[in-house]
Amino acid sequence: MKNTYNPNLAKDGIIVDQIFTSGHMLIGGKPQKIHEESTTQNYDIGTRWQIDDRVFRYCKAGEALTAMKAGFCGNAPTEVNSAAEAYAIGDTEITILDTNVRVADYYKNGYIWIMKSGAYQFHKIKSSTAGAGVSVTLTLWEPLSVAIGASTFVTAWPSIYSNILGSNSGYMSNAAIPLIAVTSGYYFWGQTWGPCFGTVFNEVPGAASGDRELYFNIDGALKSSKDVDFGTAGNAIPQRAGFLLTNTTGGGDQWYMLQLSP
């Protein structure tokens, strides 16, 4: 079923107070700009909004976020055996065991990996039921292409934009850049691609010749390739952020091409 859209019309019939993306309207509630946070959810989590050469995704903050510092995807996978049922080709609903209490649509726009030997399947999740700590039923966007037996091992992930964190961690990857400070539990547009400005971890990048690649520190700040030890065996390599855009002959800069998700 497609989302319905009711335009807001002025007396003269002109559409007002609506957001366009690549020539199309965003499906959602109250218009929310990229420099606004909201206590209520106005769009589906993960909704993509392209504004010229920048791309944004609709996110939910799992804790307070700092402006222009990368936010982490804070969701852990749910690795379980499916409930004791078998599913046929064409089925679009799968019930999985989940011992956590879940609100409805916790897994919406996430993914599920179905590990049937010789016939693995990877599906996007359209919706999910609430769960009281026993099981959750997932509805898939596309039907199963291969039948699966009872107790098949599966791994499910919610949307990577549904729980953005700002904590220091070497065990999480960055998903989006908030342009403003965001209150915990609020909804916002996080930038994922295009020209962006970053908070510096140590030295401002680009001061040295050839210093163009940028990486994220574990707190979401930008770090120069000079601050990354690529030569030590076993040394952890940070997540790549993008590359500098400006001519830095006269000194470093923090304007860069963000390259998370186009």
Q: How far apart are CA 47 and CA 63, in angstroms?
A: 20
Give the number of domains in the chain: 2
Question: Using one digit for the tens of pLDDT, what is the confidence trace for 153-176?
Answer: 999 999 999 999 997 888 899 999
4, part of any domain: no
pLDDT band at 4 (very low <50, low <70, confident <90, very high): very low
Structure tokens at 35: 């420099």
Coil, helix or strand at residue 227: helix
Tokens encoding 148: 């699966």
- Domain presence at residue 147: yes
Co-location of 45 and 96 in the same domain? no
- Please check whether residues 68 and 173 belong to one and the same domain: yes
Token look-up 């218009």 returns: 31
Are 46 and 100 members of one domain? no
Matching residue, tokens 């959602």? 28
What is the amino acid identity at position 43? Y
CA atoms within 13 A on the CB side of 49: 25
Rounded mean pLDDT, 5-12: 49
Last residue of a domain, one of 157, 179, 208: 157
Q: Which two tokens stand for residue 260?
A: 């998370």
- Domain holding 237, by residue range, is 10-75+160-262
Tell me whether residue 5 is in a domain.
no
Residue 23: its pLDDT value, please? Answer: 43
CB-CB contact of 150 with 86 (8 Å):
yes
Boundary of a domain, candidates 101, 128, 157:
157
Question: Is the same domain home to 251 and 128?
Answer: no
Q: Are residues 23 and 112 in the same domain?
A: no
Asked whether residue 250 falls in the same domain as residue 188, the answer is: yes
Q: Is residue 68 part of a domain?
A: yes
Checking if the pLDDT of 235 tops 90, the result is no
The predicted model gives 102-125 an average pLDDT of: 92
In a shared domain, residues 174 and 67: yes
In a shared domain, residues 92 and 131: yes
DSSP class of 145: S
In the chain, helix, strand, coil percent, each to 5? 0, 40, 60
Asked whether the beta carbons of 179 and 197 are under 8 A apart, the reply is no
| Residue 75 CB-density burial (10 A; 0-12 exposed, 13-18 middle, 19+ buried) | buried
- The tokens for 153 are 């091992």
CB 86 within 8 A of CB 77: no
What is residue 226's three-state secondary structure?
helix
Q: How many CB atoms lie within 10 A of CB 46?
A: 17
Distance in angstroms (rounded) separating the CA atoms of residues 104 and 61: 18
If pLDDT is split at 50, 70 and 90, which confidence band does 11 have?
A: low
Residues 166 and 62 in one domain: yes
| Shared domain check, 132 and 223 | no
By C-alpha distance, which of 145, 144, 190, 202 is closest to 166? 190
